[in-house]
Structure 1
Amino acid sequence: MKISIEISLYPLAELKFKDEIWAFIKRLRGIDGLKVVTNGMSTQVFGDYDLAVSHVMAEIKQVHQNVDAAVFVCKFINGDRSVVEAEKG
């Protein structure tokens, strides 16, 4: 089964918050089998359900271990919505 995940990360840190966001995205992009798309508002992850969910959760945990406080807003949608969005454009 496929999944689409939309993630917004809001580190509650004074300094270098952009560095933490880009590091999070870079680590997800390094996972074979995941498609990662970014825009100014969020990051979308598409792929196999178990692969995507396990890696997204692991990366969320890593941010929580590295940053004093961070908020994640996530949407989990079954199916590969990247195909639907590409067909619209």
Structure 2
Amino acid sequence: MTALKGWVDECHQCAGLFRLGRDVEAALTMVDVFEGAQRSLQSAGVQKQHAWAQLLTQMLECQERQDWLGLADFMEYELIRLLEESSA
């Protein structure tokens, strides 16, 4: 399994936990997902790093509001898209 495939699977799993209302478990997984995304995007260009910073801000705002479905959407769609684009 490639690193990208692993991160995509982690994003789907974490988003699924948020959708099921298992927010405590999902939040613990989310830390690992964010750390992995950060490492993956370190070598990406400035534009991708800026997009990551904006996306991270939006996801943390969702977490602060306890908007678990919004956070799941960001992880499952926007974060995966960004990771896929940066690895292409």
Higher strand share: 1
TM-score by length of structure 1 reads 0.36
* Larger relative contact order (Cα-Cα within 8 Å, sequence gap ≥ 6): 1
TM-score by length of structure 2 reads 0.37
Higher helix share: 2
